Amino acid sequence: MTTPELQQASPYTTLDLEGVRTVIASLPAIAARLGGTPAEWRVWEVSDGNLNMVFVAEGPEGGVCLKQALPHVRVDPAWKMPLDRTFFEAAYLRAVFPHVPDLTTECLHFDPEQVYSDCSQPVRAHCDAYRHDGWPLSPRCGRSGG
């Protein structure tokens, strides 16, 4: 697990919309999924929890979801959280995706220093994780119903 000392020594920075655009542009395979140029990409935040930043980026050819762990609980920065927790989520997605690709998203990239992962199926990556038969999806997801 990450200790507070390691968290402070890390090159970690919390991403914003422009940071997401820069990160994706620096990853040729991910940038190619979006197509076009970074200036053509639409990037927006869909975070709705206390532990992660979640962004969707879409370009002319497709989109991705980028999820970054926060080093603290959003509502109380004094409540520190281990940054390495995202490693386990990325490892899980990589392990299960080949077996149930219709039920999960593909982890396309994981950066252990910035603690973010890029995943396929941008809206689904954030919204279908919370979907349950009969429950409406968040209006932020652009659709509703079961």
Contacts of 118 (CB under 8 A, 6+ apart): 24, 27, 30, 64, 65, 66, 107, 108, 109, 110
- 103-138 residue pLDDT tens: 888 888 888 877 667 676 544 444 443 333 333 333
Fold held by 12-141 = Phosphorylase Kinase; domain 1 (3.30.200)
- Range list of β-strands (E), 12-142: 42-45, 52-58, 63-69, 72-73, 76-80, 107-111, 116-119
Give yes or no for residue 144 having a pLDDT over 70: no
Domain regions of the chain by residue span: 12-141
Q: How confident is the model at residue 59 (pLDDT cuts 50, 70, 90)?
A: very high
Greater pLDDT, 18 or 105: 18
Rounded to 5 degrees, what angle do the CA atoms 88, 53, 79 make? Answer: 80
What's the confidence (pLDDT) of residue 13? 86
Mean pLDDT to the nearest integer, 13-19: 92
Contact 138, 128 (CB under 8 A): no
